């Protein structure tokens, strides 16, 4: 990835230079000078501007303007160099795109060059529209991916920025959302690209971006861009690593946005660094020496003059040479005044390439003439320019040859005059005009220009002219005016007199000459027309024959077009042929090709035409017509016939045997035949037919019927009613009696006896038998003597799987359920006599057995009752009662065992004890063994009685039923003692608790409060009382020493007190503060408050430090000065203002900060419906600067509309209104009127009570009491 981390430099202006900073973000600035050793050159883009306050050499705070620039190329600036930068353009601000370059030291100096649009004219992407074709290249369109999940909008202007594109995320369910711009890729490896834009968001956020191929297969660079909310200027510099492809794209990923989050980017510009750095092609005008100027039409210019795109003159313009007006491609066939003989090629429109090039049909730059493509079977292509001898007559003359060439590739072309090499051209892609100047070399052959190349170049519009300066192309057509000194004027069309678009005398592009209303005209073929009378003298002749003879017209030469006569009135004409092109005869109007009764335009008429025959025209439509070819129409064309007799009526064709419609493009038609049938055909296929006998067909024969009514149908029948085969049809079914065929695919009986559904489910026997789509059957009752169900066999007395077992025995396989009452399986069985046999384990929750229970083992979670039992394995049960003998190897009982005798695990069971050894006798304090008696538990050394008393350690530790403990003196206790009271002379303990306090070896503590063994009492760092009398309180903010020194870092609030020493404090509150000098009995001054919240100072007052002093009234008997006046400035929006707490040091939209406190001007409407905004000169108490009063109001926004403000202030308040935008006026309310403050103008306003004004005005008037004192226009 090649995202360039460009270095940034802060360039400050020396405050002693008295210069100001005029730069803005986005400006391209450069410096270039020679220090006598080398040339110093630096190109930067301005990222930010600002104003520092720094001390000068004398320690005085002065202002120093600066800008922060990103180094694009060139030398790194340092303070030892000249740091004078000039702006050449801006990457987005159209008002700052131009510059003037003036030099007297460059090559071909002196000249002055006007530069413009250097930063945008060659942009790869400069969007000013929004669109949806996200991957289609367009340098002018913002687009996005995932548009259905977004709300997008484009604004020409958005809160101070232009060309803004806003995207709001509507949902968080889709993360594939991006802002993406795509443009045609002309980038090469190692090119550097600038990506410049502004961004703002609704919250602090960081978004990924990338730049590379549109299909995301490769990125030239990627990174992230952060936004803190308001507009921020961003610049990325990318070095291209991948070769050129069709398109590239720049995208910002919006996946991290939450619902309703938004991003807005503005003034995006993507441009190559080389196009910004090199301004040789950005010149829009140059004055001075033109030798360095190369024009695509005129070539290399020479001498002094002006070369510009537009030229306007309000006074006189004198031209001693040639004046040519042509199109942008050098085609001079629009207007020309100068030397007539310029292009010396005999025929430049249709060139003679001597069969080395073919004429091709292609649009050419000059828009006139032919283009020729060089053949590839030869490398030398010969253009014949002049005849033999021409080069001899013009030997040594300097001439210039030019020609337009189109190439698909970059190549080289050698140029020869006959056999003499005169130049070698580098040919580039596309159409370009190439030229060269050379002296004519003598040759006895015709004058040729030979082109040597292998490429199939396309050429057109060659020109050969005198001198070494190429001029606009002048087409020639084979006729040249060889008078080289002849001058004149020529234009392709126009006129004389009248207006430009409607002259009195018109010169038409077809070569005609006409009057304004065609009262006369002369056509290129020599014919003419004169509406008025033409006077012909007696001596007038035509082709040598007298036109007027003895006072009459000589009919031998009579031709109306030739003699331009208007009217000829005579009863007879004797002579030769008579030709009339205009006039009337017998009320009929004569025209060049018709005789008509249309004597006034638009009148209904009949006309006889040499082209259309005879016809009647009514309401400009032909009603009937008889043409010279024999065709005609009647009834306005409803009846027609052609010269072959083919006739149509209302669009129907008529033949001898049928009437048929005109076949369509698919050869479809309808025929009415003379045999009585009517049919529709496509080609020869019959679509439908109705025969005379009543038979017919439809749907190309899929439906047919005969005259007897028999119908044959191939295909589907759709019907909502009727009957078929006795079955009734309705919209949802076909039915017969109680049987229905439903349209849902089911068939059923209406009484629900049976039903077959279309999903495969159904029922039978009135629902007693049912089955679902899963194949499961539900049957109320099954009676079967044989068969099988799910691998179970059925016979006369059993249902079984595997091998049937008919006897009281185990099965070999499977299970048998006998109707006699037996259940037999391979591992268990229950016989018909009730006996059950289990080969495995018997597990049950509970059980009752009247007989003996025999098993290998078993587990019972409930009670087990039996008369007796034998278990070969383990027996587990929750409880149980055996009236007989229970014999087993072992047992596990989770319930209760009840026994009054016996033994268990070596313990003897009797009626009141379980014991080992000797049973306790009921009175002694010991026994030989262990006895668990119903009154006590007794061992050899311990006893625990039922009443709670007992003893341990052979009686050395005893306690009675009341809890009294007796410990023999020989017993040592190593334990924690918990007691309500301990009575002793001395108690030493290092652990435990006492009264809820914990005991350690060096402290007693409770929670975080410690009583140390050193005599201190403390609670962490909150407070401490040391044993020497010192201590601390309030987290150490109050401390005192053992000698009584008290230190308090906070505030002391006291109702009274006396300090005999020095009192030092930071803050405090008091009702009255009396200040004393050295004598405490003599007060030097006092500060106090009264009940009206007034602050009173008595004695002299001295204030120093800080930047503010607030007071209701200040009475000054001496000098009183202020460094600045409080200022309120607007932002870029008409209704946003900023109180400049530290002065107006930042233009534009500074943002809501402690130095610029934002205020929104309320929107209001006056009584006559004029919109205005209230401007509060005093900051409200809801702001962070209550009481701030503005005396300067700066209006800096560039809104082009009419903007009005109403100042809100106090009587006697003076404010200076400053309009810093020189292009627009603003309006201030004054006693119901609006005072215009022109662009660049300052005006002083003062407010007085409206009651002072005579005549009196209403207090409700907008601006009541505000009066304009003075204005001055500082226009620049």
The band of 1045, judged by pLDDT with boundaries at 50, 70 and 90, is: confident
Average pLDDT over residues 632-652: 77
Per-residue pLDDT, 983: 55
Give pLDDT tens digits for 464-510.
999 888 888 888 988 887 765 666 666 667 778 777 778 888 888 77
Per-residue pLDDT, 246: 86
Report yes or no: 891 and 879 within 8 Å, Cβ to Cβ. no
Per-residue pLDDT, 856: 45
Q: Do domains 128-272 and 335-490 have the same CATH topology?
A: yes
Report yes or no: 432 and 405 within 8 Å, Cβ to Cβ. yes
Give the three-state DSSP class for 391. helix
Per-residue pLDDT, 821: 80
The strand pair at 1204-1208 and 1171-1176 is best described as parallel
Distances (CA, A) of 1115 to 45, 1105, 1119: 52, 20, 11
Give pLDDT tens digits for 357-402.
999 999 998 888 999 999 999 999 999 999 999 999 999 999 999 9
pLDDT exceeds cutoff 60 at 884: no
pLDDT exceeds cutoff 70 at 978: no
pLDDT exceeds cutoff 70 at 26: yes
pLDDT exceeds cutoff 50 at 998: yes
Give pLDDT tens digits for 792-808.
888 878 888 888 888 88
66-70, 270-274, 924-928, 1198-1202: which has the minimum mean pLDDT?
924-928
488 phi and psi, to 5 degrees?
Answer: 180, -170
Per-residue pLDDT, 1195: 96
Domain boundaries, the chain: 8-91, 128-272, 335-490, 499-555, 605-698, 787-838, 908-967, 1003-1048, 1070-1099, 1127-1273
Percentage of the residues of the chain whose pLDDT score is greater than 70: 81
The listed range with the strongest mean pLDDT (822-826, 867-871, 1059-1063) is 822-826
Per-residue pLDDT, 192: 92
Distances (CA, A) of 230 to 76, 182, 234, 506: 32, 26, 12, 63
Per-residue pLDDT, 549: 59
> Token pair 């055996």 is at which residue?
882
Q: Which tokens go with 789?
A: 């169900």
Report yes or no: 450 and 381 within 8 Å, Cβ to Cβ. yes
Give pLDDT tens digits for 1216-1253.
999 999 989 999 999 999 999 999 999 999 999 999 99
1103 phi and psi, to 5 degrees?
Answer: -125, 130
Per-residue pLDDT, 1101: 57
**CA 1142 to chain CA mean position, Å:** 39
Tell the burial category of 525 from Cβ atoms under 10 Å away from its Cβ (0-12, 13-18, 19+): exposed
The CATH number that domain 128-272 falls under is 2.60.120.260
The strand pair at 494-496 and 505-507 is best described as antiparallel
CATH architecture of residue range(s) 335-490: Sandwich (2.60)
Q: Which residues contact residue 479 at a Cβ distance below 8 angstroms, ignoring those fewer than 6 apart?
A: none
CA-nearest of 1081, 1122, 1115 to 1101 is 1115
More confident call, 975 vs 962: 962
Q: Report the C-alpha dihedral over residues 43, 48, 53, 57, rounded to 10 degrees.
A: -10
More confident call, 209 vs 515: 209
């Amino acid at each position: 990835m090649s995202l360039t981390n460009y270095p940034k430099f802060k360039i400050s202006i020396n405050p002693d230079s008295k210069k100001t900073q005029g730069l803005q973000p986005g400006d391209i600035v450069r410096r270039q000078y020679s220090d006598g050793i080398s040339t110093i050159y630096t190109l930067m883009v301005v990222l930010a501007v600002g104003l520092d306050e720094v001390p000068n050499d004398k320690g005085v705070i002065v202002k120093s303007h600066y800008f922060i620039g990103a180094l694009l190329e060139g030398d790194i600036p340092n303070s030892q160099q000249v740091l004078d930068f000039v702006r050449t353009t801006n990457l987005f601000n159209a008002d700052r795109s131009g510059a003037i370059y003036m030099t007297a030291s460059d090559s071909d100096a002196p000249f002055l060059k006007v530069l413009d649009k250097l930063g945008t004219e060659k942009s790869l992407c400069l969007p000013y529209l929004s669109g949806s074709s996200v991957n289609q290249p367009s340098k002018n369109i913002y687009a996005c991916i995932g548009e259905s999940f977004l709300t997008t909008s484009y604004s020409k202007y958005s809160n101070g920025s232009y060309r803004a594109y806003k995207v709001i995320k509507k949902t968080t369910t889709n993360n594939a959302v991006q802002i993406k711009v795509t443009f045609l890729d002309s980038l090469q490896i190692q090119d550097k690209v600038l990506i410049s834009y502004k961004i703002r968001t609704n919250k602090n956020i960081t978004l990924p971006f990338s730049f590379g191929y549109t299909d995301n297969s490769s990125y030239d660079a990627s990174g992230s861009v952060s936004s803190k909310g308001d507009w921020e200027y961003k610049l990325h510099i990318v070095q291209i690593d991948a070769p050129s492809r069709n398109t590239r794209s720049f995208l910002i990923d919006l996946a991290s946005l939450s619902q309703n989050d938004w991003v807005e980017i503005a003034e995006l510009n993507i441009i190559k660094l080389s196009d910004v750095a090199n301004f040789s092609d950005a010149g829009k005008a140059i004055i001075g020496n033109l030798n360095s100027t190369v024009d695509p039409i005129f070539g290399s210019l020479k001498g002094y003059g002006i070369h510009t795109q537009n030229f306007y003159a309000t006074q006189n313009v004198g031209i001693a040479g040639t004046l040519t007006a042509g199109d942008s491609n050098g085609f001079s066939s629009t207007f020309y005044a100068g030397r007539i003989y310029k292009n010396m090629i005999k025929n430049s429109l249709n060139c003679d390439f001597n069969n080395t090039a073919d004429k091709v049909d292609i649009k050419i730059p000059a828009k006139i003439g032919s283009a020729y493509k060089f053949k590839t079977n030869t490398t030398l292509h010969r253009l014949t320019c002049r005849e033999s001898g021409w080069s001899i007559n013009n030997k040594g003359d300097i001439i210039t040859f030019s020609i337009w060439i189109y190439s698909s590739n970059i190549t080289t072309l050698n140029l020869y005059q006959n056999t003499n090499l005169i130049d070698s051209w580098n040919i580039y892609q596309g159409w370009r005009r190439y030229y060269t100047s050379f002296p004519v070399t003598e040759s006895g052959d015709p004058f040729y220009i030979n082109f040597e190349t292998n490429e199939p170049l396309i050429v057109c519009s060659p020109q050969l002219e005198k001198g070494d300066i190429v001029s606009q192309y002048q087409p020639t057509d084979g006729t040249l005016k060889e008078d080289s000194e002849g001058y004149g004027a020529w234009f392709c069309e126009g006129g004389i007199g009248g207006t430009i678009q409607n002259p009195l005398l018109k010169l038409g592009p077809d070569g005609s000459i006409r009057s304004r209303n065609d009262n006369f005209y002369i056509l290129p073929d020599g014919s003419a027309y004169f509406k008025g009378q033409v006077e012909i003298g007696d001596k007038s002749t035509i082709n040598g024959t007298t036109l007027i003879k003895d006072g009459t017209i000589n009919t031998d030469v009579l031709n109306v077009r030739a003699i331009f006569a208007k009217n000829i009135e005579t009863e007879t004409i004797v002579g030769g042929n008579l030709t009339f092109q205009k006039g009337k005869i017998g009320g009929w109007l004569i025209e060049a090709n018709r005789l008509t009764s249309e004597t006034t335009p638009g009148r209904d008429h009949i006309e006889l035409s040499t082209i259309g025959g005879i016809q009647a025209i009514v309401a400009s439509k032909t009603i009937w017509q008889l043409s010279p070819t024999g065709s005609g129409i009647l009834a306005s064309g409803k009846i027609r016939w052609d010269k072959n007799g083919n006739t149509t009526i209302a669009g129907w064709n008529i033949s001898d045997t049928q009437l048929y419609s005109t076949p369509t493009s698919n050869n479809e038609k309808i025929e009415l035949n003379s045999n009585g049938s009517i049919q529709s055909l496509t080609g020869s296929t019959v679509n439908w037919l109705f025969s005379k006998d009543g038979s017919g067909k439809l749907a190309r024969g899929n439906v047919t019927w005969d005259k007897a009514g028999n119908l044959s149908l191939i295909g589907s029948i759709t019907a909502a009613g009727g009957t078929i085969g006795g079955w009734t049809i309705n919209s949802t079914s076909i039915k017969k009696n109680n049987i229905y065929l439903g349209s849902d695919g089911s068939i059923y009986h209406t009484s629900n006896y049976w039903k077959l559904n279309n999903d495969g489910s159904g029922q039978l026997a009135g629902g007693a038998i049912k089955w679902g789509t899963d194949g499961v059957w539900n049957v109320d009752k099954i009676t079967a003597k044989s068969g099988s169900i799910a691998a179970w066999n059925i016979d006369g007395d059993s249902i079984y799987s595997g091998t049937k077992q008919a006897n009281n025995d185990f099965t070999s396989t499977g299970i048998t359920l006998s109707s006699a009452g037996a259940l037999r399986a391979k591992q268990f069985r229950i016989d018909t006599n009730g006996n059950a046999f289990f080969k495995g384990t018997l597990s049950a929750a509970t059980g009752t057995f009247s007989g003996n229970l025999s098993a290998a083992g078993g587990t019972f979670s409930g009670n087990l009752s039996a008369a007796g039992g034998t278990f070969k394995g383990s027996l587990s049960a929750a409880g149980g009662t055996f009236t007989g003998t229970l014999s087993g190897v072992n047992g596990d009982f989770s319930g209760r065992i009840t026994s009054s005798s016996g033994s268990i695990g070596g313990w003897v069971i009797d009626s009141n004890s379980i014991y080992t050894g000797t049973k306790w006798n009921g009175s002694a304090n010991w026994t030989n063994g262990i006895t668990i008696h119903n009154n006590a538990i007794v061992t050899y050394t311990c006893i625990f009685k039922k009443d709670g008393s007992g003893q341990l350690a052979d009686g050395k530790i005893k306690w009675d039923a009341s809890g009294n403990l007796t410990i023999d003196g020989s017993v040592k206790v190593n334990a924690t003692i918990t007691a309500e009271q301990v009575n002793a002379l001395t108690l030493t303990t290092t652990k435990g608790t006492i009264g809820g306090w914990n005991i350690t070896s060096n402290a007693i503590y409770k929670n975080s409060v410690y009583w140390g063994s050193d005599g201190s009492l403390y609670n962490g760092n909150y407070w401490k009382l040391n044993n020497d009398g010192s201590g601390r309180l309030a987290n150490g903010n109050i401390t005192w020493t053992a000698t009584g020194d008290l230190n308090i870092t906070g505030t002391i609030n006291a109702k009274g007190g006396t300090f005999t020493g020095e009192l030092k404090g930071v803050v405090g509150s008091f009702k009255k503060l009396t200040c004393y000098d050295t004598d405490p009995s003599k007060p030097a001054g006092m500060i106090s408050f009264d009940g009206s919240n007034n602050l009173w100072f008595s004695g002299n007052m001295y204030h120093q430090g800080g930047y503010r002093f607030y007071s209701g009234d200040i009475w000054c008997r001496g000098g009183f000065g202020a460094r600045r006046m409080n200022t309120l400035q607007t932002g870029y929006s008409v209704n946003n203002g900023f109180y400049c707490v530290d002065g107006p040091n930042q233009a534009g939209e500074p943002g809501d900060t402690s130095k610029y406190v934002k205020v929104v001007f309320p929107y209001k409407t006056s009584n006559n419906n004029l919109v205005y905004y209230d401007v509060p000169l005093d900051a409200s108490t809801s702001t962070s600067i209550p009481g701030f009063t503005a005396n300067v109001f700066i209006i800096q926004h560039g809104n082009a509309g009419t903007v009005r403000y109403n100042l809100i202030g106090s009587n006697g308040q003076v404010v200076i209104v400053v309009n810093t935008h020189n292009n627009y006026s603003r309006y201030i309310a004054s006693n119901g009127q609006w005072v215009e403050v022109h662009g660049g103008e300052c005006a002083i306003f003062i407010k007085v009570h409206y009651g002072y004004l005579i005549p009196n005005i209403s207090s409700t008037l907008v601006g009541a009491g505000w009066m304009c004192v003075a204005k001055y226009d500082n226009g620049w």
